[in-house]
Structure 1
Amino acid sequence: MRQTKVHNLIILDESGSMSSIKSQVISGFNQTINTIREAQQTFADQEHTISIISFNGFGTKMLHFCDPITPIKEIDSKRYAPAASTPLYDAIGFAVSKLKLVVGEDEKFHALVTILTDGEENASTEYSAPAIRQMIGELSESNWTFTYIGTDHDVSKAAADIAVKHSMSFQKDCDGIETMFSEERKMRKSIYRKIFG
């Protein structure tokens, strides 16, 4: 039996305002990586890949792209160093288009896209809100699940503006971030079980 590919795509804000929560974000993301790794072991019919794309005004960085989850390296302070502005739409457009190319015509897959940001779009030059809304709206009708996680702005409105149906806001402090990552992992596990259990 051919395994279902599960593409875990995380689009991570690396703008300057994330500096104050840098260590908590690194820790939380490394726990998320472990959750995906556990899912790979739990669900024999799933083959997980991970893509982590961070972004700021200096551009987008592919920390991982469609890499097998088992040997993955954790994020550290050298690989995640917040600075500059927030070209959120450009990062989403770049990351989702790239994954869409990989998925191609494959029908036996699911893409789980998580966007984490502490601020609204303020620097994109290639993609606009309507373009991202159309892209996400179309993909959400098939095997793509999008989640928008944010703080310090109107998170539900920002998610709705780009057609993301699942959103979560968090307090920008140690407890708030810990709770957010814990909830994100629960949601992730529930999606794995619901779709493939």
Structure 2
Amino acid sequence: MALRVVSKTLIVVVLDESGSMSPKLTDTLGGFNQFMTSQRQVPNDQGYVYLVTFNSTVKVLYKGVPLDDIPALTGDNYKPSGYTALYDAIGRGVGVALEDKGAEDRVICVIMTDGEENASKHTTLAQVREVIAECEGKGDWTFVYIGENPEQWSRSTGMSHGSSTRYNHHNSEDNYSSANSAVTRLRTSVQKSIKNIFLPD
């Protein structure tokens, strides 16, 4: 009897921690923690989490932590303040995943922000576009954008339009529902990557 091959997915979450997220603190903490709880229920795939938060600077809170071992996100380790170094955070998130990625692993990078870039010091938009194209070209990376102006983001970064959606400022649960749906869709698929992940097959 053939056994189901268990896949391995690196789940990179690039999460806005700028000052504008302060009013959404409680919803963000609850949404992220529920997202992780839901991902623990996905069968036949080993999930490892990379959580990169950003404001004026970038922090790697979790690096390759198995889903079962993820601690809760709390007000002690998520404290919104400062500006939005979005490009730096994407560069860092991709970098930490590349350090660990095995040849058979797949990566899904979820970018979540309620604002636009205004503080990066090390990474430009052109470099973000280049790294997304390079990673997607390998066939085992999926990028997801939940943020402001998704159409413009897709045009400027080269990401698939169907993998970008608008950040809901009034219902944070909706944003994490989108993230959970995208990650679950990849992790329950035999595919290495999925373009236009928010669109039906």
TM-score range, shorter-chain basis? 0.7 to 0.9
Q: Which runs of 4+ in 1 moved over 6 A?
A: none
1:91 Cα deviation from its structure 2 partner: 0.8
Spell out the pairing of 1:64-83 with structure 2 (5 A cutoff).
64-83=62-81
Preserved contact between residue 87 and residue 121 of structure 1 (Cα < 8 Å) = yes
| Cα distance in 2, alignment partners of residues 31 and 160 from structure 1 | 31
Structure 1 stretches lacking a partner, 5+ long: none
Given residue 13 of structure 1, which amino acid in structure 2 is its aligned partner? Answer: D
CA distance in structure 2 between the partners assigned to 1:126 and 1:17 by the alignment: 22
* Residue in structure 2 matched with residue 145 of structure 1 by the alignment: 142
Q: How do 1:1-197 residues align onto structure 2 when only pairs under 5 Å count?
A: 3-39=6-42, 42-43=43-44, 46-57=45-56, 59-103=57-101, 106-141=102-137, 142-150=139-147, 153-165=148-160, 166-173=163-170, 176-195=171-190
Deviation at 1:127, TM superposition (A): 0.7
Q: What CA RMSD, in Å, does the superposition of the two structures yield over aligned residues? A: 1.8
Q: Distance in 2 between matches of 1:61 and 1:23?
A: 20
Q: Secondary structure at the match of 1:180?
A: helix
Cα separation, 2, equivalents of 1:128 and 1:51: 22
Distance 2:110 2:72 in 1: 17
The alignment-based identity, stated in percent, is: 28
Give unpaired runs (5+ residues) of structure 2.
192-201
TM-score by length of 2: 0.86
In structure 1, what is the equivalent of residue 196 of structure 2?
none
